[in-house]
Structure 1
Amino acid sequence: MIGASVDKCSDSVSSAKKDKSGGSENPAAQAYLDHLLQNGALEGDSGAPMEMPPWYDEALFRKGQSFMTKYRFLITAGMFYGLVAVLAIPSILRVLMCTRQSSTCLTAFRRYMRTILHTNAWYEHPASANSKFWTSLRAVRKAHSKSSRACSKLGAGQITQKDLALTQFGFIGYATLGAARVQLYDEEYLESTTHMWRVLGYLLGIKDEYNICGRNWAETKLRLDIVMRRVYRPALENTSEDFEKMTKALVEGLWPFNSTLSTGSVLYFTKRLTYIKGYEYFSFDHLPGETIDPKQKLYYYDLGWYDRLLVTYGLLIVTYLHKYSIVRCYLNFRVWLNELVFHYLPFLAIWQYGINNSYVRIFTKDGRDKEFEFHLKAD
């Protein structure tokens, strides 16, 4: 789940000091980013009790949960590419490498399937006492605490507020900032999703001052935008060999869950969502205030024919057809059916990983959480 580590704040800060578009930053957004990268890199879990924050709005939270049914494809796709992008953050990558949760196809498969199941629990179960909603959140926060202490002892750093907030971007960033790129202009979705993930961030140990989700969508949009441009964009422009290996393990590991995934197309989609130069497909694939350089090399043409087919098909579907209800229903149904089949009979995973490794569960039969397994480098 939300994995991370401390560094001395130098991984992302230097590249985050310049606005590549040449424009002036919103002062509040800039202050948030500076505080997050400098002070957030020095603080661990908030220590707040597992109870709803004083600003919790039950009706708005439930509305946010309800959008998983309406926009399941958008939310799950945005989350997937967001979690690929998270691997480009050096401090987060170090902890994942330390815990060995994503270094092989099998471990990456099981980690991401747990992520899907936990996220679904947050969307599908009521936030009432003793529900699976709370069981899941407690399990995830406990796992963060355990891995943070262990990796800190091994020199990989602890999980910090900065890392938690940057991973929070992975869950919500592309699914909200990218909504307009698939012609989705649903303010109610954006507002309620913001509140829901603000609450989830709080319950997972993020202090309000570092929470990437603000009091409303307007404030959150500014935070997400500056984090994407000033942290994720430079990080994905200068990825490491370890990032490439972990991404390859993740994509190939998830092949039994989605056989249309390929490393080339996944990286292309992720970098396009982050507005990286050379990953423009349409003429409008640039940030406000920027223009596409006609001499810029287009990396689409470096892809193999199958990757190009996946990119072209995927972008045409989501850009021009996702706005129609019947297409959204079809895409949502495919995701739901895939998860259902994987719960009861993950035949491709059984063929690749064996029966015992293929059935991933986060709850025991009596509703309690299942312990996370760690395989630290020192083991």
Structure 2
Amino acid sequence: LVFFIYIFILFLAAKTLFAKIIVEGSSIPCDIGSGIDLEQKLPQWYDEAKFKRGQKYFFDNRFGMMQANYCGLVSLLCDPKGLTILHNTGRSSTAETARKRYISTTLHMLSWYEIDLSPGSKSWDSLMRVRKMHLNASKRSQEKEIGFITQTEVSLTVFGFLGYALIRPHLLGIRYDNDDDREGFVHFWAVVAAMLGVHDRFNICLPKLAVVEMICKICQRYIFMPLLQIETTLFRSMVQAIVDGLSEFTPFNSYESLMYFVRRVAGIPGYQHNVDLKKETVCRKIFSKEEMTNMRKVFEGKPGYEYMEQSVIDDRILLFNIKQVNGAIELNQDSLDNNLVSGVYNKLNDQPISKNFLIELLGLKHNEELVIEAVENEEDWISNLNDSKLELLSDKDLRYFKFKCRLMEKNYTRIGNFLNESMLSWMLYRMRKAHSSQ
């Protein structure tokens, strides 16, 4: 009984924080004022020993951590508003600009792991520089009426750096048998998040390790599982730019093989190739109808968030499939508004918003339809766990995907880890060399 009470308390803490991040955080900017007004200091709860243990945990699992970050980056690009903000910076839309941006991002992040965090250090200056960039991007977004970067967005960005490493390590070659190491890793990101402007009450890494894991699973289930299935034209072009821009450092990669790998890590049904199905669990329904409604209201009437209203923050797990058809089957927008989501979508009504929503959502051709299946319970979930999406990959993409999976599996062996780390060291050397010549 005590154990169940303890689990209930953990779940309550996790769902409360998640709801707070989505609802309250959405109206609070990441930062205000100008760059010179920003105050940089270590949080009062900073623990140097835990922080350094988190740094060491990263380096003990560096290859897998970098793969987790890559998956996290792709997942974060699914956010419609964040993607629009990024696109409007003009620094990520082409292979060349993406190459420069993500080399810089990688080296910034590595400095946080490599160098002691103290005033005047390279990592300290790096965090301040990144925070100022976020503030400037937020201001430009406001000017273009996209909206400022909120506490919600910067809080969820932290998931991109630690979420998959924490809750899906077995698919990334990351060792996860020591909770003290993992607590250090979580504390490291709690500190980094605070230094980047995340308020303590929205910091997903401040609670106990078990609560942080639950919050990450909630983010996985309610946000990233649905969004990773929705490929807008902008999303595809931005991810393709990353693949092309980093091709000299990450060969044997393609958009299709990368997306299959990321969706496999995210646990989306249909992508369970060579995985332990016992570990393919999903966060259960934990929100009341009123709580779900309050979270959905955050997205109402916000340009760019139309499909967030329809498909994210839903008690059901929605599976999206595009299929070729000969005939046309119509489903009116009202069906969506009334939560009758399961079905076939070929045409929405003639309202401009609905048309734009459909075009941006998937850009369906005249002979394509969107089939949406709602996973309602545990039985539905289990029946959908398979690798059926594998057949959609070309022979080349299939080879790339399986090669990446083998690298993750072999990373648990001594020789495999040595080879992976050596390959990564060479890649990072070339990145630093390329960065210095820019």
TM-score bracket, shorter-length normalisation: 0.7 to 0.9
Per-residue CA deviation, residues 278-322 of structure 1 (Å, 9 max, x unaligned), is 111025242255754269671111111111112212223313x22
Aligned to 1:287: 281
1:300 maps to: 390
After TM superposition, give the deviation of residue 359 of structure 1 in Å: 4.2
Aligned to 2:266: 274
Shift of the alpha carbon at 1:232? 0.8
1:3-22 matched pairs, under 5 angstroms? none
1:257 to 2:249 alignment: yes
1:86/1:170 contact within 8 Å kept: yes
Q: 2:219 aligns to what? A: 227
8 Å Cα contact 2:270-2:384 kept in structure 1: no
Question: What's 1:376 paired with?
Answer: none
- Alignment partner, residue 419 of structure 2: 330
Q: Per-residue displacement from partner, 1:254-273 (whole Å, max 9, x unpaired)?
A: 11221222111111111111
Structure 2 unaligned regions, length at least 5: 1-9, 33-37, 283-377
Partner of 1:198: 190
Distance 2:48 2:102 in 1: 29
- Counterpart for residue 78 of structure 1: 68
Give the fraction of aligned pairs with identical amino acids, expressed as a percent.
Answer: 29
8 Å CA contact retained: 1:61, 1:192: yes
Residue in 1 that maps onto 2:362: none
Q: 1-side partners of 2:132 and 2:385: how far apart?
A: 50
Quick one: structure 1 residues 28 and 280, their matched pair in 2 at CA, closer, same or farther if it must change by over 3 Å?
same
* Matched position secondary structure for 2:281: coil
Partner Cα separation in structure 2 for residue 156 and residue 183 of structure 1: 38
CA contact (8 A) 1:92 1:163 kept: yes
1:79·1:171 contact (CA, 8 Å) conserved in 2?
Answer: yes
Q: Which stretch of the first structure deviates more once superposed, 321-330 or 262-271?
A: 321-330
Shift of 1:158: 0.8
User: 1:116 and 2:102 equivalent?
Assistant: no
The runs of 5 or more residues in structure 1 that have no matched partner are 1-24, 347-357, 362-379
Q: Residues 132 and 298 of structure 1: is their aligned pair in 2 closer, same or farther, counting only changes over 3 Å? A: same
Would the alpha carbon gap of residues 102 and 183 (structure 1) be closer, same or farther in structure 2, given more than 3 Å must change?
A: closer
Matches within 5 A, 1:118-137: 118-137=108-127
Counterpart Cα distance in 2 of 1:169 and 1:295: 24
Alignment match, 1:5: none
Q: Distance in 1 between matches of 2:13 and 2:49?
A: 28
Tell me how far apart the structure 1 counterparts of residues 127 and 157 of structure 2 sit (CA, whole Å).
Answer: 15
SS of residue in 2 equivalent to 1:260: coil
How far apart in 2 are the matches of 1:120 and 1:360? 19
Match of 1:35 in 2: 20
Contact 2:58 2:185 (C-alpha < 8 Å) held by counterparts: no
Displacement, 1:277?
A: 1.6
**Which stretch of structure 1 is more off in the superposition, 89-98 or 62-71?**
62-71
Q: How does 1:112-261 map to 2 (within 5 A)?
A: 112-181=102-171, 182=173, 184=175, 185-261=177-253
Matched residue type, 1:61: F
- 1:343 CA displacement: 2.2
Of 26, 42, 54, 1:64 maps to 54
Contact preservation (8 Å) 2:163, 2:216: yes
Counterpart residue identity of residue 339, structure 1: L
Separation (CA, whole Å) in 2 of partners of 1:302 and 1:90: 25
Distance 2:263 2:235 in 1: 13
Matched, 1:101 2:91: yes
User: In the alignment, is the contact (CA less than 8 A) between 2:407 and 2:420 conserved in 1?
Assistant: no
TM-score, normalised by the number of residues in structure 2: 0.70
Query: Which one has the largest radius of gyration?
Result: 2
Task: Tell me the SS of whatever aligns to 2:189.
Answer: helix
Q: Deviations over 1:155-201 (max 9, x none)?
A: 12111111101111111111221213447223233111100000000
| Distance in 1 (alpha carbons) for counterparts of 2:275 and 2:197 | 41
| Contact 1:91/1:163 (8 A) holds in 2 | no
Q: Stretches of 4+ moved more than 3 A in 1?
A: 180-183, 288-292, 294-297, 358-361
CA distance in 1, matches of 2:269, 2:48: 41
State the structure with bigger RCO (CA 8 A, min sep 6), 1 or 2. 1
TM-score by length of 1: 0.80
Q: Which residue in 2 is equivalent to 1:375?
A: none
- 1:352 corresponds to which residue? none
Structure-2 separation of matches of 1:200 and 1:234: 28
Query: What SS is found at the alignment partner of 1:209?
Result: helix
Q: How far, CA to CA, are the matches of 2:140 and 2:436 in structure 1?
A: 27
Q: Distance in 2 between matches of 1:97 and 1:208?
A: 29
Tell me if structure 2 keeps the 8 A contact 1:105–1:253. yes
Residue 360 to residue 121, structure 1, CA distance change in 2 (3 Å)? farther
Aligned pair count reads: 326
Q: Secondary structure at the match of 2:383?
A: coil
Residue in 2 aligned with 1:26?
11
CA distance in 1, matches of 2:178, 2:407: 19
Q: Deviations over 1:302-347 (max 9, x none)?
A: 111111112212223313x222233223212211121113323x4x
The Cα RMSD (Å) is: 2.3
Q: Which whole-Å deviations, capped at 9, do the CAs of 1:130-156 have from their partners, x for residues lacking one?
A: 110111011000111111111111112
Counterpart CA distance in 1 for 2:147 and 2:394 is 38
What is the one-letter code of the residue matched to 2:402?
A: T
Q: Is the 8 A contact 1:272 1:279 kept in 2?
A: yes
